[in-house]
Amino acid sequence: MKALKIIIRIAAALLVFALGIWLLQRLLVPKYVTENEEGLLVKEYYSYAGGNDVLFIGDCEVYSNFSPVRLWQDFGITSAIRGSPQQLIWHSYYMLEDTLRYETPKVVVFNVLSMKYGEPQSEAYNRLALDGMKWSDVKYRAIKASMTEEEADSEALTVASYVMPILRFHSRWNELTGADFKYMFGTRQLSHNGYVMRIDVKPVDTIPKAAPLPDYSFADVCWDYLEKIRTLCDRNGIQLILIKAPTLRPHWYDEWDEQIVKYAEEKGLCYVNILNEVETIGIDYTTDTFDAGMHLNLSGAEKLTKWFGTYLKANTALPNHRGEAEYEEKWIDRIDYYNEMAEAQAKQLSENGKLDGYWGD
């Protein structure tokens, strides 16, 4: 048999296989539109990458609490959030490295809560943080750094499953819903430059007393990554601001705070524990949180953002881009979508008494 004929046959089989895998992958990977919606965040960044002067990195304490649209509207500051659920500090570092492939912000705001986690917490959160990241050596290093013990046991398969997520999500064949078919080739936009909006209210009732810890020191790996974040910012001429977002749970211990204060002083960084500014900001935990103090709702986020905008103006040299056509054009659609979502949620809330998802439909 002629070699060419054989090559054509094998190539044809491989091509059909690749096409089949691609289609099945589109079907089987989670769409994040009916649950774990925050899984959309990391991928969405690439649609608003470029021209952001401020970059927030961290977990839900940033993507639920800061509104880039409000920062733009009130201060002319362009910003984006690269957040993901339970984003650990190494995720944040690689998020920053990845961002630098697309833009160089002037200020990076890092929420220090993740300093408390010295080791990978769960595979699910790794997927939420890394699946959406575009392929590059940064992503590869992020995967390697983030693996849980179980993932590390089959390292090659784990890495391969980020290249071909079907290797991870193939067993979803028995969980498929209509949404998997509907959003097979495209999904919905969740965030507003990384901000995840919720307008409903669940007031804080009681704040359980935090149990004392046997050891308050942060893990070495966290300090290493914090230092890497600082160095990376330094190298790129970026001002790093450390914050602790004003959420009541999980508890932020004074002993932790002292270590961050000391570090910030040593490195000449701005650090603001916003928990100490709650009264100044005017956050009311009976109206400004949607889950009893873990995250702020739209009202709380807008209050916090307004205060933080002022803080940024005072502590950085960020420009006001309002009036610049290039920026205005970009932000007009974002403002519209922001308002639409707020209205849709308000409508659903008034009709049903509760929110079913973020889109209000």
Binding site for other proteins (CB under 8 A): 1, 3, 6, 9, 12-13, 16-17, 20-21, 24, 28, 123, 150-151, 154, 156-158, 160-161, 166-168, 170-171, 173-174
Name which of 1 and 325 has its Cβ closer to other proteins: 1
Name which of 28 and 80 has its Cβ closer to other proteins: 28
Residue 283, token pair as written in the block: 């956050």
Pairwise CA distance, residues 321 & 11, whole Å: 53
DSSP-derived letter for residue 256 is H
Residue 51 — left, alpha, or beta (φ > 0 → left; ψ -120 to 50 → alpha)?
left
Nearest distance in Å: CB 175, other proteins: 9
360 in Cβ contact with 345 (< 8 Å):
yes
Name which of 28 and 312 has its Cβ closer to other proteins: 28
Nearest distance in Å: CB 119, other proteins: 17
Nearest distance in Å: CB 159, other proteins: 9
Nearest distance in Å: CB 18, other proteins: 9
Name which of 13 and 332 has its Cβ closer to other proteins: 13
> What's the distance, CA 361 to chain centroid?
23
Nearest distance in Å: CB 82, other proteins: 25
Name which of 154 and 217 has its Cβ closer to other proteins: 154
Using CB atoms within 10 Å of the CB of residue 308, give its burial: 0 to 12 exposed, 13 to 18 middle, 19+ buried. Answer: buried
Name the residue among 180, 169, 176, 120 with its Cα closest to residue 146: 120
92 in Cβ contact with 227 (< 8 Å):
no
Q: Which amino acid is at 224?
A: D
Pairwise CA distance, residues 193 & 311, whole Å: 20
Name which of 154 and 236 has its Cβ closer to other proteins: 154
Pairwise CA distance, residues 358 & 327, whole Å: 26
Nearest distance in Å: CB 173, other proteins: 5
